[in-house]
């Protein structure tokens, strides 16, 4: 890892603060909604994005029981309530004494973006690697003289890719089903494109793949009517995607915890979370 031990020690302490603080957020929300018992949840989402052209965006949202109650208007630097029960809290956060919206806006535009740039530099070698795609095609004859063709493109990096079916080497066939570009545990991606075509003799169909790892030459694979895809390829690809999605979710949750500085404190709480944290030694 590129970060030193101080970074991870601070991250551990922040996660403890985060846990204590959101228990208080939940108690405040329950009072606002007149809930005295039962199972309830408080959620928050904070993040920033850096585009290739240098433009940036940021967001901060809060939810109670799965429904958004407060969000940050980043341009104006104020919090906006989306339900009646959150009006008093947002007035407090936007007050001249607290000005949490302005502070959050500053974190999104500065500290958060700087951390994104650091992670990009740390992972530049992995981000810039070129891995050419593998391609499998198969078809299934359906009723009424229609055949459904499938093209599975997998194992490629980076993510952008263009996949299409072509009839007789020149006519594009509009896709009626295209999966999202999904991640694999090894950092590569996959996509599946399907079309329905008339079952006619004499027509040929091929899957064309354009990807940066291929240079100027597109990868073309012709469908043979008697070919089929081994079951293991399909099952393996799907299982790999499920693992990858789970890994992304866990990673995103950790990054969210690390970046919760500005969306956390309000004197609506009974006590300052730092009081409770004083009994937790900072690693």
CATH number at residue 112: 3.30.500.10
Instruction: Answer yes or no: is 265 within a domain.
Output: yes
Question: Cβ neighbours of residue 18 under 8 Å, at least 6 residues apart?
Answer: 257, 260, 264
User: What domain count does the chain have?
Assistant: 2
Among 15-24, 87-96, 185-194, the least confident range:
15-24
**Looking at the domain assignment, is residue 237 inside a domain?**
no
- Same domain as 171, residue 140: yes
User: Are 81 and 91 in contact, with CB atoms under 8 Å apart?
Assistant: no
Write out the E strands in the chain.
42-50, 56-64, 67-73, 78-81, 134-141, 146-156, 162-167, 171-173, 177-178, 182-183, 189-198, 205-210, 219-222
In this structure, the answer to whether residues 225 and 268 fall within a common structural domain is no
The pLDDT assigned to 164 comes to 94
Which pLDDT score, from 0 to 100, does residue 281 have? 52
Q: How confident is the model at residue 264 (pLDDT cuts 50, 70, 90)?
A: very low
Residue 241 lies in a domain: no
In terms of domains, do 29 and 167 share one? Answer: no
Count of beta carbons in the 10 Å neighbourhood of residue 56: 15
244 has pLDDT over 90: no
Does residue 143 share a domain with residue 14? no
pTM of the full predicted structure? Answer: 0.53
Lowest mean pLDDT segment, chosen from 171-180, 193-202, 239-248: 239-248
What is d(CA 49, CA 55) in angstroms, rounded to the nearest whole number? 8
DSSP for 130-144, please give it.
-BPPEEEEEEEE-ST
Closest-CA residue to 66 (of 94, 29, 118):
29
Q: Containing domain of residue 187, as a range?
A: 130-229
Out of 205-214, 219-228, 241-250, least confident range: 241-250
Q: Of 261, 272, 231, which Cα lies nearest the Cα of 107?
A: 261
Considering the domain boundaries, does residue 282 fall inside one?
A: no
For residue 269, what pLDDT is reported? Answer: 41
In a domain, 239, yes or no: no
Whether residue 206 sits in one domain with residue 70: no
Q: Which position has the higher pLDDT, 250 or 179?
A: 179
Task: Judge if 253 and 117 occupy the same domain.
Answer: yes
**Is 143 within a domain?**
yes
């Amino acid at each position: 890892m590129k970060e030193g031990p101080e970074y991870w020690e601070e991250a551990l302490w922040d996660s403890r603060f985060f846990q204590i603080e959101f228990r208080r957020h939940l108690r405040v929300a329950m009072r606002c909604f007149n809930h005295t018992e039962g199972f309830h949840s408080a959620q928050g989402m904070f993040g920033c994005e850096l585009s290739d052209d240098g433009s940036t965006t940021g967001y901060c949202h809060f939810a109670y029981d799965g429904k958004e109650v407060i969000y940050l208007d980043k341009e104006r630097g104020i919090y906006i309530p989306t339900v009646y029960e959150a009006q008093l809290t947002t007035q407090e956060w936007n007050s001249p004494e607290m000005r949490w919206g302005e502070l959050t806006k500053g974190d999104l535009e500065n500290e958060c973006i700087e951390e994104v740039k650091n992670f990009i530099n740390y992972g530049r070698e992995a981000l810039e690697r070129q891995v050419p795609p593998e391609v499998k095609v198969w078809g299934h004859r359906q009723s009424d003289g229609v055949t459904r063709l499938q093209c599975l493109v997998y194992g490629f990096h980076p993510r952008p890719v263009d996949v299409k079916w072509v009839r007789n080497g020149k006519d594009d066939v509009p896709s009626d089903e295209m999966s999202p570009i999904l991640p694999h545990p090894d950092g590569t991606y996959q996509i599946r494109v399907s079309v329905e075509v008339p079952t006619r003799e004499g027509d040929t169909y091929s899957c064309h793949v354009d990807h940066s790892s291929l240079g100027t030459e597109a990868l073309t694979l012709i469908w043979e009517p008697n070919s089929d895809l081994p079951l293991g390829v399909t099952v393996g690809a799907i299982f790999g995607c499920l693992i990858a999605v789970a890994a992304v979710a866990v990673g995103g949750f950790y990054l969210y915890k690390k970046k919760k500085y500005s969306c956390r404190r309000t004197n609506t709480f009974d006590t300052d979370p730092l009081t409770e944290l004083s009994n937790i030694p900072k690693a």
